[in-house]
Structure 1
Amino acid sequence: MADNNQYYQWATSRCAQKEYCRSEIAKKLLTKGATPDEVDETLGRLEAESYIDEARYARAFVNDKFRFDHWGRIKIRYALRQKGVSDFDTDDALALIDDDDYRQALADFIASRRRTTKGDTPYAVNQKIARAAITRGFEPQMVFDALSVE
């Protein structure tokens, strides 16, 4: 690619297809051969024209990862931090997860794992389930509380 307009055209076509955050587009532009100045200029223009909106991206990311991948808040927060999304936008997006839905997702995950997890003792089974749920991003105390209720 030769000039900034081509980078802009390429980025707008990508952003029209799905949500991207600043860092994702920046990485893609750099691999296409854009200079850091061209990347900054292109990102500024994309944000000014609402092709990129970090808050909107965070909301979509949280929704998708919770609803479809069944991730917990910790894992979602970490993934957004890795993408360079601000803590403010992340907090706002995570606040949109309904607490009852969140607890139900954890209960469903535990029930699913309980059917397939093998262990010598109930304690060993609970430990395996807890480790899996915590790895999925659910808060440890919430996991242990949910396991003790069963």
Structure 2
Amino acid sequence: MNNSYTVEDAKRKLEHYCAYQERCHKDVYTKLLRMKIIPEAIDVIIVHLIDNNFLNEERFAKAFVSGKFNIKKWGKRRLELELKRRDISSYNINQALRTITDEDYYNAIDQLARKRCNALKETDTFKKKKKLVDYLLYRGWETHLVYDKVNELIP
């Protein structure tokens, strides 16, 4: 399928793409490249999307953090890493991470750790601790929080 798009067609398509779900600049840029849009037109389209508030990196970062934290229970390290992969600025990353309250953060790791700990069938205490630590670290929780929680749950 070899479609060619005018700048106006591409703008409309990308407006819909951004309205459907928050997007970062990198997502939009990649999509435009796949549509085989020339670099000069890509710049024009991205500026149009920003000017018309279809594209907003701070809003994207906050929506991303909110979704991944509330639904997938990712820790701040994983959230920060994933946002950096999407070329989000440190300022926007920090603004987004500040939306998570300390209370929500500690409740989330507590719930996640307890649920996983109860699901582990391992009888060897050392192996059970290791499995729980690995699970929480993979989800991006800070090392000191992980070890404190694991030692609390598995004495």
Assess same fold via TM > 0.5.
yes
Aligned equivalents of 1:68, 1:100: Cα separation in 2: 17
**Residue 38 in 1 paired to residue 28 in 2?**
no
The structural deviation recorded for 1:120 is 4.3
Q: Deviations over 1:86-134 (max 9, x none)?
A: 1110110001101111111111111111112133421221111011000
Matched position secondary structure for 2:72: coil
CA 128–2 in structure 1, closer or farther in 2 if over 3 Å, else same: closer
Task: Read off the aligned partner of 2:46 and give its amino acid letter.
Answer: L
Q: Which residue of 1 aligns with 2:79?
A: 76
How does 1:1-150 map onto structure 2 within 5 Å?
1-150=4-153
CA 28–121 in structure 1, closer or farther in 2 if over 3 Å, else same: same
Aligned equivalents of 1:10, 1:61: Cα separation in 2: 22
Does structure 1 conserve the Cα–Cα contact (< 8 Å) formed by 2:116 and 2:132? yes
Question: Percent of aligned positions with the same letter in both sequences?
Answer: 25
TM-score, normalised with respect to structure 2: 0.92
Task: Read off the aligned partner of 1:123 and give its amino acid letter.
Answer: F
Aligned equivalents of 2:79, 2:120: Cα separation in 1: 25
Alignment coverage as a number of residue pairs:
150
Divergent runs of 4+, >2 A: 118-121
Return 90-99 or 111-120, whichever deviates more. Answer: 111-120
Matched position secondary structure for 2:137: helix
Root-mean-square deviation (Å) = 1.1
Aligned equivalents of 1:4, 1:40: Cα separation in 2: 11
Q: Deviations over 1:53-85 (max 9, x none)?
A: 000000000000000111111111111111111
Aligned equivalents of 2:95, 2:5: Cα separation in 1: 39
Task: Read off the aligned partner of 2:33 and give its amino acid letter.
Answer: L
Aligned equivalents of 2:25, 2:85: Cα separation in 1: 12
TM-score, normalised with respect to structure 1: 0.95
